[in-house]
A and B are shown apart, each in its own frame.
Chain A
Amino acid sequence: DARVTQTPRHKVTEMGQEVTMRCQPILGHNTVFWYRQTMMQGLELLAYFRNRAPLDDSGMPKDRFSAEMPDATLATLKIQPSEPRDSAVYFCASVRVTDTQYFGPGTRLTVL
């Protein structure tokens, strides 16, 4: 049963610290999305990659967020420095070409 995996599942950190979230897409899926979900804003697209190349990161605060895909089995989202307003659930999703998006379980981030 192929699934998107994300680590860590929960992260509590202090303001100013660096946070790195990891995602392993489903094998064979060539497009990876990063979303952020909050009660107020709902599900927002931060960035996405196709065949490891970044296609759109316009939803991401550029000064503190960065997203990379060092290889086909790993996508990372980094926040440096983190702020309390970054507290949210971060989801990764993967899709094969233009098929259904499959979501990972999410990383629940709390910045104190």
Chain B
Amino acid sequence: RKEVEQDPGPFNVPEGATVAFNCTYSNSASQSFFWYRQDCRKEPKLLMSVYSSGNEDGRFTAQLNRASQYISLLIRDSKLSDSATYLCVAPDGAGSYQLTFGKGTKLSVIP
């Protein structure tokens, strides 16, 4: 199976800080990517899709670098409620329905 690698963290940041996570993927044929958020012992929830060079949604920005095969997630003005594990997800191929999940990066936002 294809690999998706993430820094496990934890990232401990103060409220209001900007934090960025990177994720590398091995399958150069992958076209679209996702960031999911998972709170402790709960189900993953879709945060953002990344289809081309990048995507922005409020305080969250996802970027894709195809040449280097990595995806990043930037969180601006961190809130306490952003504390969670962030999962990077890549399909196994251009037309593949199979998704490979990274092990996640843990973020703790501290008051």
Co-assembled chains A and B: no
